[in-house]
Amino acid sequence: MTAIEEGKIKNVKPSVVISDVPSAAGLKVAADKFSVPTVALPAFGSRGWAYDQKLVSTLEGHGVTKNSGLICLAGFMRILSAEFVRRYSMRIINIHPALLPSFPGLHAQKKAVEYGVKISGCTVHFVDEGIDTGPILLQMPVPVLDSDTEYELADRILAAEHELYPKAIRLFSKGTITVRGRRVSIENS
């Protein structure tokens, strides 16, 4: 939302901010600073469609349908059900702190440091039914220094994420993205 305030994204208005953690700072920021509706939807039971049905109800209650809107995941640490992903196919994006397909899942920065890669980074991808396996929209490299800890690398990747995610949202809002299979094309924008 800061990117909207700073003019990095135009003609976009968040409909709702949902968190599975009721104490998430983003809920307070969204409501207090940006007057965006918020919903805390704590995890219950096992993963799967029962929880995701609550997500669908919440999203659709705020105007996000299977045919309109974009769902942006950021720090949402639940695996979405196949039914949910299919319902909003190519309308859900996520940001991951590695250059996918390298180091999917949790602890990507730690894996990068331990593996000894010289370049890591971040990836914005469409969410599919796998874990960090959807078509790649954008990537940004971040050097891995010999002296890096996972936390130092994570800080530099986070700065790149704050630059890359708004760019991806802007491209989506302009309608300049075409997805064919795993290939994502972006028209000049």
Task: List, for residues 123-161, the tens digit of each pLDDT value.
Answer: 999 999 999 999 999 999 999 999 999 999 999 999 999
* Sign, Cα dihedral of 71, 155, 43, 25: negative
Task: Tell me how far apart the alpha carbons of residues 127 and 115 are, in angstroms, rounded to a whole number.
Answer: 26
Structure token pair of residue 58: 């919440």
Which one from 62, 96, 107, 125 is the annotated catalytic residue?
A: 96
Structure token pair of residue 158: 């986070």
Model confidence, pTM: 0.94
For this structure, is 96 an active site residue?
A: yes
37-72 pLDDT, tens digit per residue, is: 999 998 877 667 889 999 999 999 999 999 999 999
* Sign, Cα dihedral of 162, 61, 19, 125: negative
CATH 3.40.50.170 fits 1-89, yes or no: yes
User: Which of 3.40.140.10, 3.90.330.10, 2.20.25.160, 3.40.50.170 is the CATH number of 95-189?
Assistant: 3.40.50.170
Residues of the chain with CATH 3.40.50.170: 1-89, 95-189
Could you give the angle at the alpha carbon of 64 between the alpha carbons of 167 and 48, nearest 5°?
100
Task: Tell me how far apart the alpha carbons of residues 152 and 57 are, in angstroms, rounded to a whole number.
Answer: 39
Report the largest interatomic distance among the alpha carbons of the chain, rounded to a whole angstrom.
49
**Percentages of the chain per state (helix, strand, coil), in multiples of 5:** 35, 20, 45
